[in-house]
């Protein structure tokens, strides 16, 4: 490990965008490290996801930890403190919003992690030793905290030198454009294209307003699914809108304790293709019954139908968390589909148990078809092909 360094006192201080870029470079490098590690860990698992080469898996994680420490030392060690200071300055100047308290907690957590990492960088263990591997492993949660959440600090630092949106429409113009957009929405000619949240907590949506075969890019403030939204600007194209409108802030997450870089080890899982193959290759009713029961199995090694129900329930939670009228409607639909899958799962389970109770085998007249055909002996003369029927040539 290389010790943490700081810019020379007489050297130029990095600008806010440079600080933000340093964090982005680290996140990008961590994404590469994560992808390479997942590929290495896949080689240590069997086809059901169970680790069968524990030593190789441990070596892959040790390599991951070391690479992450080196990436932090290269990209963030000289800039982490300045980045957090810049982010806090902007945070203090923002108007009140629901997400600001959470962002402050994130910045405080990043500061704690940065202190732990810098302490280890200043006192590295002997290279290649078990102590170094232990030290790197202990730093992994702090490194992933920066990989997962430093986008908040980057975004705030970017806003320090960013543009501040000014209303481009008068009250009369805003009312006129809002009425035109509402009329287009009723006709089905307001095509929503992109949505984000600004730093003040307001949602902004870009849309194409279509009138008489001509379209204009408009920006909406508020939930387009309920009355009360307004048009806050109109633009020739999306690039112009992006320059004029408030920059997007990092979107939220569904579950606060989820990390891309600290996923749980995958549970053993049998694919539907394998279960279908088990039925095709089976001979007894029990073979088909076991395959069907595998689809509805619950718990740690859940089957595909149980996973599908879980996916629908989680997607319903996601749609509800969007906090829009349309999101809540879709959440209700997904929840209803989840209940239907639950009912279908019980039906499949009962049918599988009934099939297993039949105590039957496939009848012997269902004989296989051989794929390999016997080849003629080497000295065997091939049979003479039948003579072609003579045809009369046609003349034009």
pLDDT tens profile 93-128: 998 999 999 999 999 999 999 999 999 999 999 999
Helix axes 272-281, 285-296, angle to 10 degrees: 170
Q: Distance between CA atoms of 234 and 170, rounded to whole angstroms?
A: 12
The neighbour count for residue 140, using CB atoms within 10 Å, is 16
Q: Distance between CA atoms of 266 and 50, rounded to whole angstroms?
A: 8
pLDDT at res. 379: 65
33 alpha-carbon distance from chain centroid: 16
The 3-state DSSP class for residue 102 equals helix
Tell me the per-residue pLDDT of 236-277, one tens digit each, with 9 for 90 and over: 899 999 889 988 999 999 998 889 999 888 888 889 999 999
Q: What percent helix, strand, coil does the chain show, rounded to 5?
A: 55, 10, 35
- The band of 301, judged by pLDDT with boundaries at 50, 70 and 90, is confident
Q: Distance between CA atoms of 150 and 222, rounded to whole angstroms?
A: 27
Q: Distance between CA atoms of 121 and 311, rounded to whole angstroms?
A: 42
Tell me the per-residue pLDDT of 362-376, one tens digit each, with 9 for 90 and over: 999 999 888 877 776
Q: Between 159 and 387, where is the model more confident?
A: 159
pLDDT at res. 242: 87
- Res. 297: pLDDT tops 80: yes
| pTM score | 0.82
Average pLDDT of the chain? 89
The three-point CA angle 255-261-263 to 5° equals 65
- Res. 181: pLDDT tops 70: yes
Selection from 279, 306, 284 nearest residue 295 by Cα: 306
Give Dmax over CA atoms of the chain in angstroms: 102
């Amino acid at each position: 490990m290389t010790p943490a360094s700081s810019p020379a006192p007489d050297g130029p201080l990095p600008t806010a965008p440079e600080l933000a870029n340093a964090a982005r470079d680290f996140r990008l490098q961590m994404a590469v490290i994560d992808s390479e590690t997942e590929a290495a860990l896949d080689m240590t698992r069997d086809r059901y996801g169970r680790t069968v080469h524990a030593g190789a898996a441990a070596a892959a994680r040790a390599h991951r930890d070391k690479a992450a420490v080196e990436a932090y030392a290269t990209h963030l060690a000289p800039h982490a403190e300045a980045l957090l200071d810049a982010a806090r300055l902007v945070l203090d100047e923002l108007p009140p919003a629901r997400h600001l308290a959470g962002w402050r907690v994130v910045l405080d957590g990043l500061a704690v992690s940065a202190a732990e990492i810098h302490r280890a960088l200043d006192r590295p263990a002997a290279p290649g030793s078990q102590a170094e591997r232990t030290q790197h492993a202990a730093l992994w949660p702090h490194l992933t905290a920066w990989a997962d959440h430093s986008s908040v600090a980057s975004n705030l630092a970017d806003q320090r030198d960013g543009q501040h949106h000014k209303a481009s429409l008068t009250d009369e113009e805003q009312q006129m454009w809002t009425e035109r957009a509402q009329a287009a929405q009723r006709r089905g000619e307001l095509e929503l294209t992109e949505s984000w949240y600004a730093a003040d907590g307001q949602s902004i949506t870009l849309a194409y307003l279509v009138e008489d075969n001509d379209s204009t890019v408009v920006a909406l403030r508020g939930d387009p699914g309920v009355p009360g939204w307004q048009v806050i600007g109109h633009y020739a194209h999306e690039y112009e809108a992006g320059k004029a409108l408030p920059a997007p802030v990092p979107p939220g997450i569904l579950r606060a304790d989820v990390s891309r870089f600290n996923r749980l080890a995958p549970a053993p899982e049998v694919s539907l293709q394998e279960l279908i193959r088990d039925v095709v290759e089976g001979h007894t009713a029990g073979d088909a019954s076991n395959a069907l029961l595998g689809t509805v199995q619950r718990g740690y090694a859940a089957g595909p139908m149980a996973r599908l129900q879980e996916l629908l329930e989680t997607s319903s939670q996601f749609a509800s968390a969007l906090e829009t009228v349309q999101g809540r409607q879709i959440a209700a639909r997904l929840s209803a589909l989840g209940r239907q899958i639950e009912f279908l799962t019980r039906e499949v389970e009962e049918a599988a148990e009934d099939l297993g109770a039949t105590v039957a085998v496939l009848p012997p007249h269902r004989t296989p078809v051989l794929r390999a055909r016997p080849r003629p002996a080497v000295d065997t003369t091939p049979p003479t092909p039948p003579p072609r029927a003579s045809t009369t040539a046609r003349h034009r």
